[in-house]
Structure 1
């Protein structure tokens, strides 16, 4: 009979290297947000995008006006004719990992990002996946959005309405609005007083 001494077993402990600071919850968030290309091919970009938003606690509005806030109430997968019109990412966990889901959503007009701690400059840059269709964007009470992030929206050339307020990490909101206004001449840029959160 051979005996094994636990002390003789060597443990390999993997310590994070410099610059590796992702927490367990960031990995979970990444997995819930990460696009599945096979799923997008199977169900189409609009349904896959709706699944992403709903899976992370957001809400969607279809082009026919129906609103949905529960992942379990998604219509059957066979209904590929449904088109996404609006995304409400308020109080949700959608993050920059998932914004490529916007690609291919041909009728998407509006995105509201309100009170979402996962929205940061990378997520705002990710809005460019919807640059050909988005006409209304709201970014408010997102603590991780900064001045350079807001300025990334300069590529959203079809914007007609941009609502920005309660962004504590933005140092100079007036300057950001001026920058965006000069690059987006068709866009009306509003603050909290002039808008009503959807």
Structure 2
């Protein structure tokens, strides 16, 4: 079925995106590749929410593997009807897609909050969030980024990685929404086709 092929394609894309989200989140723990800041707990509070590792990463693996495992024409069926089995599988993928949307949504929200607050860094006044009350205006005013002395280039590091996580999680949400539609149509059409075949056999 074309619906199953579409689901497997979406699953493969989600698997790739989930791995990228996990990598991006891990990199947030090591500004400039340095480990001392995570050891000393001198990172943005939102880094510790594991939104890329958990939400858009590990949680997203569930729908990804469910979609990839869609058996399509080889479904064993239920109640002796192969089409019924395909229909149940497609409708079941909708639940997995909703779980994926929740995980990716969590990642998107946390990443957006992290960008709005800005990084935790050492300024001339000590360790603080220098951009917390700027309504994220620092994102367009690069001249203010020099307020952060340590970790070096932490603003660029955080803005880049959190932006990547926002983009990746947004794509994951779109793909999962597509699968919700695909699963509903595939499940309903599968059930209708199954009924039509049963009626034709009865004739």
TM norm structure 1: 0.22
- Bigger relative contact order, structure 1 or 2 (CA pairs below 8 A, ≥6 apart): 2
More strand by share: 1
* Larger radius of gyration between Structure 1 and Structure 2: 2
TM norm structure 2: 0.21
More helix by share: 2
